[in-house]
Structure 1
Amino acid sequence: MATTETEFVTAPSTPEPDTLQIVVEQKLRRQQDDGDVGGSSSSSMTIFRVPAHVRDASKDLYEPRLVSIGPYYRGRDELRTMEQHKWRYLHELLAQYTEASLADCVSAVRDVEHQARRCYSERTDIFDDSGDGFAEMLLLDGCFVLKFFINWYARVPDKLCDVGWGLPQILSDLELMENQIPFFVLESLYRALSPDAANIRLDLLMLIVPKFGLDNWTLCKQLLDGVLLPTQAEEMEIDHLLHLLYLAFVLTAEELEAIPASPTLLARCVSWLRQMWLSFNTAVSVRFAFVRDMPRVPGWTRLCTFMAFVHKVSAWFTKLLALIRVNNTRTEQDEEEPPEPPIMVVPNVTLLREAGVRFETKASARHMLDVTFDAARGVLRMPRVKVDYADKAQLVNLIAFEQARGSSSNGNNKLLSSYAALVGSLVRTGEDVEHLKRHDVIDNLLSCDHDAATEFFQRLGDCSSLDYSEEHHFAGMFEDLSQYYHSSWQRHKAKFVRDHCSSPWAVLAFVVAGCAFFFALVKFSTTIYSLSHPYCHCLVLASATSSMQMCHVVVPRKIIIY
C-alpha cells in the first residue's frame, strides 16, 4: 500500500529550555532583586576589596585582628569572640536609650537593608542566605560601632577597651577598608535611638571625628570649635568610617590652593639673578662711594655713548631675526614634537645628598603633604614623619580607599598616592632613613632603619596606581629634583663643599693652601717680570747700591765732626 506524503508530517514541537539557561535566569533575577545588577548599582558600590595579591602579601594590614565589621570577615574563628561583646553592646545600648526599643532598631535596619546590599562590591555567603543574616549583621555591627564611640566620648569604663591593646586595636580594625558598613546604617540606627536629636549627622561627627587623633586638621578644628554648620555637615558625602577619616585627613581643594606652589626653574633663576644684582649693586655703592665724587672723564661719556649705540644696533638685529624666524615658521609646517614623558622616579636621599640637596624639617607644616623643594638653595623641606606600624596600616588603607574612589576623591588629585610615590622614591635604604633621622625628618619606631625603608616606605604604594602626567601632585617637584641632580655645576659645588668645608680644620687648611698658592703666584709673576725686563732690574739694583754707598759715606763724616 503506497503511503502519502501527508502521513509523515508532524506538528512542530516547542524546544524545552536548557538547564543552564534556567540556572542563569534564576541567578540574574536574584541579583537584580538584591540590587547588584542595574543602572545604578555600579555607582552605589562604596565598600571594595583590596586586590588579592596585595592582601595576601600583607594580611595584617588589611584584615581585622580583633573585630569584624561587615560581611567580608564575618564568621572567622579568630574573630568570633567579639560576637559576644556585640550582643552585650546591643543590650547596654537599649538600656541606655530607654526611649527606643528593639523594634525601632530593627525597623531602622530594615529600611536601609536593600540599599546596604548594593554598597558591597563582592558577595559572600551571607548575601545568598534567605534568612535575616544580613539584617542581623547590620544591627549588631552598627550598634557595636555606635556604643564603642559613645563610651569613648563619655569616658564610660569598659573592660574591653580598658585593656592596653583593646582600644587601639579596635580603632585600627574600624579603619580598615574591607571592614566597613555604610554610614547611613549608623545614621538610621542613631535616629532610632535618639528621635529627638536636632541633627543626626552633626552629632555623629562630634562622636567619631575627634577620636581619630587629628586635632590640628581642619574638620576636627571646625567640630571642636563649633564652626561647622549643620547644613555643611548634611552636604558632606560620607560612605563609611574610612571615608570620614579620609575627609578629615586629606587636604580640601581650598587648603591645597592655599599652599604656595613652588615656582618654575626659570622664575627661580630670574629671581636669583635679580637678588644677586641688587646685592652686588648695594655692596658697590657702599664700599666704593668715593667714586661718585671723582670728576668724570670725557672719555667715559664717549664710551657710554658708543655702548648705547651698539646696544641699539644689537636690539634692531634681534628684532629682525625674530621677524625672519616667525615668517619661516608660518611658511614651513613643522610637525609638533611629542611632549616629554613625565619623570616617574627621582634619586634617593643618598644620591641627592651627593648633588648638594639638603633635607630639613618643616617646622610650620600644616599637613604631611606640605612638602616643598627650594631649587635655588637646594633644600627639600618636609614635615616630620613618624614611622610606626599603626600609622602604616592607616596610611595603606587610606591609599587603597583613594584608589577605589578614583581621581574625584575630595575633588583633588590622588594626594596620598602621590605622597607614597614621593617617599618611596626618596627612601630606599637604611642609609636614607639614618640621614633623615639626623635632620629630625623621620622618627623611626621600628626595629631598625632597614625595616623602616623596606617595610614601611617601600610598601606604602603596593595598592596604588598613578598617572604621573595628570594625577601626580608632586610631578613638578620630581622634575625639579631630577634637574638639580643632573646639573654638573651643583654636583661639583657639592663635592667642593663636602671635601673642603666639612669641618673648621678643613676650612682652615683650604685658606692656608689658598694663601700659599697666592704668594707662590705672586713670586712666580715677579720672577717672570724680572726675567722679561732685565734693564729695569739693573736700574733697581743700581739705585739700591748707590743709596747704600751714600749712607756709607755720610755717616762716617758726621762721626768725624762730632
Structure 2
Amino acid sequence: MEIGRNQMHQPNNAEIKARSYNMATLIQAELRRLPFVTEECCIHRVSKRLLNIHRTAYEPQLISIGPFHHGRKDLKPMEQFKLQFLRRFIARINRQRLSYKDVVETALMCWETRARNCYEDFANNMNSHDFVRMMLVDGCFIVEFLVSVYGICPQTQSTSTSRVDPLVFKAMNINLYHDLIMLENQLPFFVLQDLFDLIIRGTDNSFTLVDILHKFFGDNFMKHNCETPQNKPPKENIRHLVYFLCFYYSPTNGDIIECNNNKSLLLPPSITELHEAGVILEKGSTDNILNVTFKDGVLKIPPFEIHGLFEIYMRNLMAFENFQGVNGNQSYAIHYVLFLGALISREKDSSLLMKKGIITNLIGGSDEEVSNMFNNIGKGVTFQGHFYYEDVSKDLHKHCKTRRNRWMASLRRDYCNTPWATISLLAAIFVTFFIFLQTIFSGIRFGMNPHMYHI
C-alpha cells in the first residue's frame, strides 16, 4: 500500500493551472445563469414550509397570472376565458384609434426587462415572445375584468362579439378573486397601469386604477373590516395587487414604530383569561384595523368579518411580508395575526368575540373552527423586528397579574351577573352589616353594665 501511494501521480504546475482555469470557467458560467436579485424583485415563490402547511392557499386553482404557473394543464381551460377579455380590451383601444400592434411594441420596448426583474427565481425560463405574450394576455384580462365589473369605462359597441356570458362570469368570479390575490399569481403593477392608461385615453373618465382597486378590495376582501383609507398610495409605490393590500394593514403615520434589534415577542393572554381578569371587550374604531387599544380595563378591537376569502388573502399577504419587510421592515399583518391568534386560542375565545360583535363569522362552522383557523394561520411565518402590539400585551399581562382585578371580576361574574343576584348580594351585605352593628352595640352595653347579664 505504501508503494502504491508513493507511485500516485503528482500533478505539475501546468496541469494545476489548466484544471483551475477549467473549474473557474464552469463556476463563472453557472453564476451567469443565476437570476439577478434586484430591488425590483417583488413577486416571490412561496416557501416550501408554507406550501406544506396549506398548499391550496398559495397555488391558483382556476386561472394562472404571470409566469410561475403559466402552462399548467389544469389551468389551460381558462386561457380561452382570458382571450375573451383580451378581445374586449382590443375593441376598447380601437375606439381610441390605437392599434394592438402599438401595445405589443410598447411591451417589447418598455416592459420585458423590467418585468422579468420583478420575479424571483425566474430568469430565462421563457423566451421573449412567450413572456411578452403572457404579460399582455394576463394584463389585459385583469384590467378588462376590473373595468367591466365596476363599469368605469363605457362598453364597446360590438357587444355581440365581445360580451362574456354573464352566467359563466357570475359562476367563476368568486374563484377568480381567490386566485388574483395569490402572491405567486401576480403581474407587476406598472403593466396594469400602462394598459389602464391606454383604455381611458381620450375619455372623460375621472377614476384612476388606484380608485378601482380600492373598490375591488373594499367589496371583496376588506368589506366591513375597515374604512377605505383616505390617503391612497401613490401608484409609483405599488408593486402588485398583494402589495396594494398591505396598505390596509399599515398604521397611521403617528403610530409607525421604528425598526430596532429587539426581536422579543410578547403575546397577549387569551380572551378567556382576560375576561376572567375583568377586562371589558368592546368594538373599536373602524378607521384602522390595526388600532387595538387597552385603557382603563377596556380592550377595544376593530370589528372584522371572516369570509371565504379571509384566510387566502391573509396567508398570501403574510407570505409577501416575509420577503419584503414592507413598511420600513415592519410586517404589520403578521403582527396582527400573531396577536389575534394568541387572543383566540380556544373555542370560548372566538365565542366571546362574536358575542361582542367584534368577529362576524360568514363562513359558518363552529366557534372551534374559527379558533383553529387563527391558531393555524400564523404557522410557518417569520416574526421580524419590534412587535407592534408589545405595549398592549404588556398592559394586558399586568392587568391579569393584579389580584384585585381578578377578585373584582370574580365578584361581578359570580354574584352580580344578574339584577336579582346583585339585589341579593346587597341584601346579604346589609344584613351582615346590621348583625355586625348589633353585635358591637351589644358589646358596648355589656361593657357599660356588666351586671346586666349576671345570673
TM-score by length of 2: 0.82
Name the residue aligned to 1:360.
Answer: 282
Amino acid at match of 2:187: I
The Cα of 1:477 is off from its aligned counterpart by 0.3
Of 349, 352, 359, 2:271 maps to 349
Give the 3-state SS of the residue equivalent to 2:386 in structure 1.
coil
| Alignment RMSD | 3.3
The Cα of 1:12 is off from its aligned counterpart by 6.7
Task: Report the Cα distance in structure 2 between the residues aligned to 1:79 and 1:531, rounded to whole angstroms.
Answer: 97
CA 1:138–1:12: 2 relative to 1, 3 Å = same
The Cα of 1:256 is off from its aligned counterpart by 3.8
Task: Report the Cα distance in structure 1 between the residues aligned to 2:177 and 2:335, rounded to whole angstroms.
Answer: 26
Name the residue aligned to 1:480.
Answer: 395
Task: Report the Cα distance in structure 2 between the residues aligned to 1:341 and 1:146, rounded to whole angstroms.
Answer: 41
Name the residue aligned to 2:99.
Answer: 101
Name the residue aligned to 1:211.
Answer: 216
Task: Report the Cα distance in structure 2 between the residues aligned to 1:199 and 1:27, rounded to whole angstroms.
Answer: 50
The Cα of 1:512 is off from its aligned counterpart by 2.5
Name the residue aligned to 1:185.
Answer: 191
Q: Does 1:54 align with 2:50?
A: yes
Cα shift readout 1:80-114 (whole Å, capped 9, x = no counterpart): 11111222222221122112223212212212111
Cα shift readout 1:451-484 (whole Å, capped 9, x = no counterpart): 10002x22332353224xx522211000000000
Give the 3-state SS of the residue equivalent to 1:132 in structure 2.
helix
Task: Report the Cα distance in structure 2 between the residues aligned to 1:199 and 1:21, rounded to whole angstroms.
Answer: 59
Name the residue aligned to 2:137.
Answer: 140
Of 338, 346, 364, 1:429 maps to 346
Of 38, 46, 59, 1:63 maps to 59
Of 525, 542, 557, 2:440 maps to 525
Task: Report the Cα distance in structure 2 between the residues aligned to 1:178 and 1:12, rounded to whole angstroms.
Answer: 50
Name the residue aligned to 2:361.
Answer: 444
Task: Report the Cα distance in structure 1 between the residues aligned to 2:263 and 2:217, rounded to whole angstroms.
Answer: 40
CA 1:162–1:221: 2 relative to 1, 3 Å = farther
Contact 1:108–1:189 (CA under 8 A) maintained in structure 2: no
Q: Does 1:370 align with 2:291?
A: yes
Q: How does 1:99-138 map to 2 (within 5 A)?
A: 99-111=97-109, 112-123=111-122, 127-130=124-127, 132-138=129-135
Task: Report the Cα distance in structure 2 between the residues aligned to 1:340 and 1:211, rounded to whole angstroms.
Answer: 37
Task: Report the Cα distance in structure 2 between the residues aligned to 1:131 and 1:340, rounded to whole angstroms.
Answer: 46
Between the aligned residues of both structures, percent identity stands at: 26
Give the 3-state SS of the residue equivalent to 2:238 in structure 1.
coil
The Cα of 1:435 is off from its aligned counterpart by 1.4
Task: Report the Cα distance in structure 2 between the residues aligned to 1:525 and 1:219, rounded to whole angstroms.
Answer: 67
Name the residue aligned to 2:8.
Answer: none
Q: Gapped runs of 5+ residues in structure 1?
A: 1-9, 223-227, 258-338, 539-562
Task: Report the Cα distance in structure 2 between the residues aligned to 1:71 and 1:535, rounded to whole angstroms.
Answer: 103
Contact 1:55–1:62 (CA under 8 A) maintained in structure 2: yes
The Cα of 1:45 is off from its aligned counterpart by 1.0
The Cα of 1:62 is off from its aligned counterpart by 1.3
The Cα of 1:191 is off from its aligned counterpart by 4.8
Q: How does 1:296-445 map to 2 (within 5 A)?
A: 342=264, 344-362=266-284, 364-374=285-295, 376=296, 378-406=297-325, 409-411=326-328, 413-445=330-362
Higher RCO (CA 8 Å, separation ≥ 6 residues) = 2
TM-score by length of 1: 0.67
Task: Report the Cα distance in structure 2 between the residues aligned to 1:220 and 1:162, rounded to whole angstroms.
Answer: 33
Name the residue aligned to 2:244.
Answer: 244
CA 1:505–1:51: 2 relative to 1, 3 Å = same
Cα shift readout 1:222-267 (whole Å, capped 9, x = no counterpart): 6xxxxx7xxx845x411112212322x133543647xxxxxxxxxx
CA 1:104–1:487: 2 relative to 1, 3 Å = same
The Cα of 1:71 is off from its aligned counterpart by 1.1
CA 1:113–1:472: 2 relative to 1, 3 Å = same
Name the residue aligned to 1:547.
Answer: none
The Cα of 1:116 is off from its aligned counterpart by 1.2
Cα shift readout 1:504-542 (whole Å, capped 9, x = no counterpart): 22222222322222232223223323333326859xxxx
Q: Does 1:29 align with 2:32?
A: yes
